[in-house]
Amino acid sequence: LEAKEEIEHNSLAVDVMTPRRGDPALTVLTQEGMTVGEVESLIESTRFSGFPVVVSQESQRLVGFVLRRDLLISIDNARKRQDGIVSASQVVFSEHLPPPSPEAPPPLPLRGIMDLSPFTVTDHTPIDITVDIFRKLGLRQCLVTHNGKLLGIITKKDVLKHMAQIANRDPDSILFN
Ligand code: ADP
């Protein structure tokens, strides 16, 4: 038992987040430059409930978080109701739209569906503090950053799994019920 308590004590956000060491990187959206078609295939090829939005793949600077459900609904609506929205339209989460160009189809602004201040902890945040934040704020997910750079994501289920590993109990019986 002591050993387990110790694990819990020493675990950090970085030990619980996705991706774990050696795993593929997070699936993120960039605030500019992706097309409606690219975003759609990314949604279809994954089952995640949401996606962090970053400034660029190179910088991995966090801009916000967007729910899969909201993306699907907005793109679907725009395709049906907004003039000129096609697969090649650029999806824009940034504040300013690109200047209109005669060659490009109109962009699809989606800043409105993005959570602009998703909850974040740093990689070194002890997991018991992270768990406390999840409980107190009723979070569904939390992002992990290091010096402002996006590193990972922790969902409520990830936290429950981690707690279950430590307590060696049914995840449903701990924490949130
Ligand atoms: P849940 O944990 O409730 O099933 P998700 O379906 O969103 O929620 O996440 C499933 C797993 O994938 C979790 O372990 C989570 O850490 C991870 N995950 C969530 N979103 C992403 C993402 N955008 N990119 C990579 N991994 C993710």
- The per-residue DSSP string of 47-102 comes to --SEEEEES-TTT-BEEEEEEHHHHHHHHHHHHHHSTT--TTSEEE-SSSPPPP-S
Task: Report the candidate in 37, 38, 41, 31 with the shortest Cα–Cα distance to residue 65.
Answer: 31
Q: What integer pLDDT is reported at residue 172 of this predicted model?
A: 57
Distance 84 CA to ligand 1 centre (A): 33
Ligand 1 pocket mutation pick from 14, 17, 48 by most atoms within 8 angstroms of CB: 48
Share of the chain above pLDDT 90, in %: 80
Q: What integer pLDDT is reported at residue 175 of this predicted model?
A: 55
Q: Out of 6-15, 48-57, 168-177, give the one with best mean pLDDT.
A: 48-57
> Is ipTM over 0.95?
yes
Cis peptide preceding 19, ω within 30 of 0:
yes
Is the pTM of the predicted complex or chain greater than 0.80?
Answer: yes
Q: Give pLDDT tens digits for 131-166.
A: 999 999 999 999 999 998 999 999 999 999 998 888
Structural domain boundaries in the chain: 2-173
Distance 27 CA to ligand 1 centre (A): 9
Q: What integer pLDDT is reported at residue 157 of this predicted model?
A: 96
Report the atom number in ligand 1 closest to the C-alpha of 155: 2
CATH fold for domain 2-173: CBS-domain (3.10.580)
In the predicted model, what is the mean pLDDT of residues 3-14? 69
Judge whether residue 77 has pLDDT over 80.
Answer: yes
Going by alpha carbons, the residue nearest to atom 5 of ligand 1 is 48
